[in-house]
Structure 1
């Protein structure tokens, strides 16, 4: 997916997504996502492409922030999303895999800074 975007002559555009704990903005996670994206020469969206949800919301499809990430992808404003770990999307392998399939169907990507071994992604 990333190579296809670059072949069109532009840098991939990404959203940042993180979970907040106790109502606090997850600045460290969002900053890490931005740093990761810049290191990969991706275009990082500003606050309008930065999304969060409260930690503990079980189904990613029901979270407001995650739905907004998907909306950015569907509208063509972003080519992918950057998260710190797979568990930010879902701690359940099945739900995580469903999200990966959704992104694949929409010709988009999920970039995970630190994949977790228990998700079977390493």
Structure 2
């Protein structure tokens, strides 16, 4: 459908140049979801990332990351 690339490292996706264009495509029914290289393409910060997930869910859209983000273990070693 299109390729959108933001070079701004802003943690708030909606303040980037390309992110609002993606949301318009989703809202207009021209796309069903977003595929990114990894989570940082949306935001490395938890709150903006979770807000984005809620928005996508509310608009019956999805996001998929081609590379899984490494998780730290909750178990102390």
Regarding TM over 0.5, the answer is yes
Pick the structure with more strand per residue.
1
Pick the structure with more helix per residue.
1
Q: Which residue of the partner structure matches residue 94 of structure 1? A: 47
Q: TM-score, normalised by structure 2?
A: 0.84
Number of matched residues? Answer: 72
Q: 1:106 aligns with which of 52, 59, 71?
A: 59
Q: Does 1:60 align with 2:13?
A: yes
CA distance in 1, matches of 2:68, 2:14: 20
What aligned pairs does 1:1-122 form with structure 2 within 5 A after superposition?
45=1, 49-118=2-71
Q: TM-score, normalised by structure 1?
A: 0.55
Contact 2:11–2:45 (CA under 8 A) maintained in structure 1 = no
What is the RMSD of the two structures over their aligned residues, measured on CA atoms?
Answer: 1.5
Contact 2:33–2:62 (CA under 8 A) maintained in structure 1 = yes
Q: How far did residue 54 of structure 1 move?
A: 1.1
CA distance in 2, matches of 1:61, 1:68: 10
Per the alignment, do residues 79 and 61 of structure 1 end up closer, same or farther by CA in structure 2, a change over 3 Å counting? same
Show structure 1 runs of 4+ deviating over 6 A: none
Question: Any unmatched runs of 5+ in structure 2?
Answer: 73-77
